Amino acid sequence: MTHSGAILGPWKQIWKGNTPTKVKCFTWLVIRRACLTQEKLKKRGFQIVSRCFFCHEKEETNSHLFLHCRVTVQVWQMVLSISQEPWVMPEHTTDLLSCWMRRGGARPKKDGGL
């Protein structure tokens, strides 16, 4: 289960379809929060100041880097503007994948979910 209680079954959907293997692997790393963000490097003992590579404002965590950074949000807005429906970004990448899979990977829901 995710932080929001969503079932993790959609993870299996990553490996289906015609998506290139490297995209599937990267998606899996993102939703498993396994990307080597600066937050992860600090936990492994690296002496670094954890600031987002894009905005340099907040700590570089998985959720910030892929969902909530102001630069990332602009990219998501361009991608999701195709649907012309309102949306609210979920808190965690696992929730994003779960919502995306429920919608068939297409458009955000009108009630604010993806």
109 domain residue, yes or no:
no
pLDDT, the chain, mean: 81
Q: Looking at residue 10, what is its pLDDT?
A: 61
Q: Are 114 and 102 contacting, i.e. CB atoms less than 8 angstroms apart?
A: no
Q: Roughly how many angstroms between the first and final C-alpha of the chain, as a whole number?
A: 18
Q: Looking at residue 57, what is its pLDDT?
A: 94
Each residue's pLDDT tens digit, 13-63 = 788 888 899 999 998 999 888 999 999 999 999 999 889 999 999 999 999
Q: Looking at residue 54, what is its pLDDT?
A: 95
Q: Looking at residue 74, what is its pLDDT?
A: 95
How much of the chain, in percent, has pLDDT values that exceed 90? 44
Number of folded domains that form the chain:
1
Which residues 6+ apart lie within 8 Å of 63 measured at CB? 91, 92, 93
- Top pLDDT among 85 and 93 is at 93
Q: What is the mean pLDDT of residues 85-93?
A: 83
| Helices and strands, number each (H, E), in the chain | 5, 0
Residue-number span of the structural domain to which 89 is assigned: 9-102
4 domain residue, yes or no:
no
Query: Which among 102, 109, 101, 113 has a CA at the least distance from the CA of 17?
Result: 101
110 domain residue, yes or no:
no
42 domain residue, yes or no:
yes
113 domain residue, yes or no:
no
107 domain residue, yes or no:
no
In Å, the largest CA–CA distance within the chain is 44
